[in-house]
Structure 1
Amino acid sequence: MSELGLNTISFAGRAASSSQFKTLYAEGMALVEETASYLDGQGRAASKVLPRMASVLYAAESMRLTTRLMQMASWLLLQRAVNNGEMTRDQVLSEKSKVRLDSFNVDRHAPGWLDLPESFRDLVERSLRLQNRVALLDREIYRPSEDPMPHDNENSVQAQLNLLKTAFNTN
């Protein structure tokens, strides 16, 4: 590891216990609640009048959406437990192995996609953006200790800037 790596500040560790994490947590939990309310109310009514292809796609995507949000909520709850001293990092590492933050593919060109209600598609898009932010933070926080910093051939400044963008929800 270079000398630069020894003096680099871990923005991920700080972001995970900061007010930005609290904002991410609140955003994630609010999206879970909003989605549940939508799927149980307006979405249920809208799905009954969709064309057949869109109806099948709606059923599949709503399951993926729900699963994606539950996985993110699990991660956020685990991280909050660490931040509050309710769990150790090792306990979280054990538990978070059950959480999947990898992408659930969404085919925006699938037949029927544009027939789905716009509010449903918006929930899907927002959940994907949130999933990407959580996954990036997870990778930075729980990076294996044998590879604490990017390799010399990677742009460590750009990696830190990307992490900052994610932590502060900027584009």
Structure 2
Amino acid sequence: MPARDINEEIIEDLYSEALVLADDARAAFDLRVQDARSHMGDLTRVALSIEGLRTTTRLMHVLAWLLNQRAYLAGELSERQLERCGALPEEREADADNLGRLESETRALIEESERLHARVVRLDRDWRLQRDEATSVASLQGRIAQAFATA
């Protein structure tokens, strides 16, 4: 999706989706609730903890990126500030062995968070590419204008 297609509606839809996923993740990875429901083994408990941390971190990164986009669209951040501070950190995908120990609903939640993160990565990458291209074009136009003005 080209960066010019990033607008408030897309950001708000993604933000709502991320909030719902974050709330679902909080419920899914709450070990107090998990312990009360079943007597899971130690390895399953560790897998749940690790993937819970990865999933919630992934979602918090997405939410932070979306909040930066919202601030930019509202005029609270400059393009330069967004470029400098609004990058999405690199993803750490779920571990296949850990996923195998988890319930199917939990695996589906993790996969959904990975898909959301991948969508936001594409938006971020496209925005940065378009910005870099625009900067390069503006620089070239400036150099051409200077060359003809001095000739």
Alignment check: 8 A CA contact 1:48 1:55 kept: no
Task: Report the counterpart of residue 116 of structure 2 in structure 1.
Answer: 130
Q: How many equivalent pairs are there?
A: 134
User: TM-score normalized by structure 2?
Assistant: 0.75
Note closer, same or farther for the CA distance 1:13–1:47 as it changes in structure 2 (3 Å cut).
farther
1:121 maps to 2:107: yes
- 1:21 is aligned, of 4, 8, 11, to 11
Task: Report the counterpart of residue 3 of structure 2 in structure 1.
Answer: 12
> Which amino acid in 2 is paired with 1:130?
L
CA RMSD across the alignment: 2.5
> Which amino acid in 2 is paired with 1:90?
R
1:75-90 equivalence runs, <5 A: 75-90=65-80
> Which amino acid in 1 is paired with 2:56?
T
In structure 1, stretches of 5+ residues that fail to align are 1-9, 149-171
Name the structure where helix makes up a greater proportion of residues.
2
- 1:53 is aligned, of 43, 56, 63, to 43
Give, in whole Å, the separation in 2 of the partners of 1:47 and 1:70.
Answer: 27
CA positional deviation for 1:146:
4.4
CA positional deviation for 1:54:
1.9
1:64 maps to 2:54: yes
User: TM-score normalized by structure 1?
Assistant: 0.67
Note closer, same or farther for the CA distance 1:77–1:145 as it changes in structure 2 (3 Å cut).
closer
Report the 3-state secondary structure (helix = DSSP H, G, I; strand = E; otherwise coil) of the residue aligned with 1:142: helix
CA positional deviation for 1:142:
1.6
CA positional deviation for 1:25:
1.7
CA positional deviation for 1:79:
0.6
Alignment check: 8 A CA contact 2:29 2:48 kept: no
Alignment check: 8 A CA contact 1:29 1:73 kept: yes
Task: Report the counterpart of residue 143 of structure 2 in structure 1.
Answer: none
Report the 3-state secondary structure (helix = DSSP H, G, I; strand = E; otherwise coil) of the residue aligned with 2:93: coil
Between the aligned residues of both structures, percent identity stands at: 28
Give, in whole Å, the separation in 2 of the partners of 1:96 and 1:77.
Answer: 9
Report the 3-state secondary structure (helix = DSSP H, G, I; strand = E; otherwise coil) of the residue aligned with 1:143: helix
For 1:55-96, what per-residue CA distance to the aligned partner results, in whole angstroms no more than 9, with x for missing partners? Answer: 221111111111111111100100111111111111112212
Task: Report the counterpart of residue 95 of structure 2 in structure 1.
Answer: 107
Q: Which has the larger radius of gyration?
A: 2
CA positional deviation for 1:42:
7.6
CA positional deviation for 1:49:
2.3
Give, in whole Å, the separation in 2 of the partners of 1:42 and 1:122.
Answer: 21
> Which amino acid in 1 is paired with 2:95?
D
